Structures are given as C-alpha cells and as structure tokens.
Amino acid sequence: MQPNSSESAGDRYLAVLENLTANTLDRLDLVTASDVHFRDPFNDVRGRAAVRRVFERMFDDVADLRFRVVHAACSSDQGLALWHFSGRLRHVRNAPIEIDGVAHLCFNSDGAVTSHTDYWDPSGPVYAKVPILGSLVRLAKRRLAVTAER
C-alpha cells in the first residue's frame, strides 16, 4: 500500500482498519510506527507485534466482525474517528455485539500511526453478556440511573 498524496495518514489507516481481516493483519505494519501505542478498555500495548496480537485475539473472539468508520476528522499529526463495531461473541453463546466508540489517533511526520486510543463503554456490549457478571452490571446500572422520581 503506497501512500497517495491526496490521501491523509488518517484516511490510509482507517481504510486499513475497515478492511482488516485475520488474513490481512500484515497491512497494519504499513500504516503504523514500529513503536505504536494501542490502548482500549482491555489493552495497553506498545509495538507492532503486541498490537497485532490484540487484533488476532479480536478475530478469534468475534465472528462476523464488521468495523465501520462513521465519521473522521484528521490533521497531519492527529485525528478523531467515530466508529461502529459489530459481530458475534464466540465464547459467549455467539451473542451479538454492537459497540460505538471514538478513536484518538496520532501520526508521526512520515504519516505512520504512533498512538491509537479507543474510547468505548464495555459494560453493556461485553460485561452484560457474561453470566453472573451481566446480572451485576444490569443491577448496578438500575441502581445508579437517574429516574423521574429522583
């Protein structure tokens, strides 16, 4: 994947993510710095090999995975992307999963991603589907929610 002068670093990286499969993980190396930092609610890793393991695990855990960028705004050194993720959790009775989140991206002067931080709430889409834990999450949400009476 050769950089296109009319395409921003953010466009190139997000296109790789939207089209990523378990068989195309090598494409991440073309758009990330060797010391890339990736963080989300479950992971905080550095380096291409560690980031690759995060994505390998994601493809192992989620069937029919679909990642779509809803909106993005990127400059030469950073960007924000609203995204939608969906699929089925293989290890939780193939439960459907849908997550909306935001990614903060940082780019070096060569246009490679140096940092990717995902912000999303795992309590509903993930924790609530796990037996026993899901009941506790739902109870906590009910107890903490603002109601018309309070």
Higher per-residue pLDDT: 142 or 65 = 65
- Write out pLDDT tens, residues 36-63: 999 999 999 999 999 999 999 999 999 9
| Best CA proximity match to 136, nearest among 147, 146, 124 | 124
CA distance 21 to 60: 11
Give the model's pLDDT for residue 50: 98
CA distance 63 to 29: 23
Confidence of residue 87 (pLDDT cuts 50, 70, 90): very high
Give the model's pLDDT for residue 125: 66
Say how many residues make up the chain: 150
CATH class for the domain made up of 9-119: alpha beta
Q: Is it the case that residue 117 has pLDDT exceeding 60?
A: yes
Could you state, in order of their start, the residue ranges of all structural domains in the chain? Answer: 9-119, 121-150
Q: Is it the case that residue 1 has pLDDT exceeding 60?
A: no
Token pair listed for 103: 């990614």
Q: Is it the case that residue 112 has pLDDT exceeding 80?
A: yes
Q: What is this structure's pTM? A: 0.83
- Write out pLDDT tens, residues 5-36: 457 999 999 999 999 999 999 999 999 999 99
Alpha helix ranges (H) inside the chain: 9-18, 28-31, 48-61, 133-144
